[in-house]
Structure 1
C-alpha cells in the first residue's frame, strides 16, 4: 500500500506524466522515510498570484514562492492532537506554484519535470519535519532530497 494523495490542479497546466512523477516520487520518499502505508497528503498546484496570497497570509512574505508546506503534525498553540487506532496518518498539504516551477527550471537549466519533482520531494520532507533554517539542517535535508531524486532518475 502507498500514500493516499489528493491532487488539485488549479493551474490546469499539468500533464498526466507530471502527476505520475509526483505520485511515484512521494511514494519513494515515503518509503525512504518509513512513512506508514495509507498516510494522507494533499498536493495543490497553483499560480504565482495564489501562492503569493498564501505566502503573505501565513508567512508574512508578500511575494510568490515555489512551494509551501503545511504539516498537520505540527501542533499550534492550543491545538490538540487527534489520534486513533483506525485513523490514517495525515501528513498535511503541499502547495506548488507551477509558474515558479517553470521559471526555476529555466533558471537552473533543467527540465520542468525535474524541478516539479524536486519541489514535491522538498515539500514532502518539510511535512515530515525536515527544515533548512541552519546550514547543518540544510545539509541533512538536501542530502535526502538528492538521494531520492537520484534514485528516481531525476538528476540535475
Structure 2
C-alpha cells in the first residue's frame, strides 16, 4: 500500500484535504509511469530548510522545497520532501496566487522531480512548469 505522509517541523500549519491531496499525488506519480512506495512531505520553517540546504546541499540560500530521492529500485518512489511554509506564503503573494495554490504547485513540483523532470536548464524548466500546470488543472478541491 503506497504511503503519502505529512509532517511538520518548527512550524504550526494545518493541512486541509489530506486524503484528496494523497490521491492526487499518487495519481500523478502513477500517470508518469512510476510506482509510489513512500513519500513524506515535511512542512517546515525557512530556518529549518536553510539548515538542511547548508548541511546536505552546501547551498546558503532560502528555498521553498528540497527533495530527497531515497529510492533504491528504479521506478519505485521513496522520498522525503521538505517544504518551507514561509516561502510558500511569500511566493503566493509574489505570484498573486492563494497560499493553497502555491502549496499545491510546490507539492507536485517535488513529485515531478522524483519522476525525472528537472528545472535547471530553460527547456527543462519550461517542461516542468507545463507539467505542473497540467496536474494542477486536475485538482478538484
Aligned to 2:22: 23
Name stretches of at least 5 consecutive residues in structure 2 with no aligned partner: none
Equivalent residues in 2 for 1:98-113 (5 A)? 98-113=85-100
Aligned to 2:67: 69
Contact 1:47/1:99, CA 8 A, preserved across alignment: yes
Aligned to 2:78: 91
TM-score (structure 1 length as normaliser)? 0.78
Contact 1:118/1:145, CA 8 A, preserved across alignment: yes
Name stretches of at least 5 consecutive residues in structure 1 with no aligned partner: 74-80
Distance 2:15 2:112 in 1: 24
Secondary structure at 2:13's aligned position in 1? coil
TM-score (structure 2 length as normaliser)? 0.86
Equivalent residues in 2 for 1:130-145 (5 A)? 130-145=117-132
Aligned to 1:9: 8
Count of residue pairs brought into register by the alignment: 140
Task: Confirm whether residue 116 of structure 1 aligns to residue 103 of structure 2.
Answer: yes
Larger Rg: 1
Contact 1:52/1:64, CA 8 A, preserved across alignment: yes
- Classify 1:21/1:50 alpha carbon distance in 2 versus 1 (closer, same or farther; 3 Å): farther
Higher strand share: 2
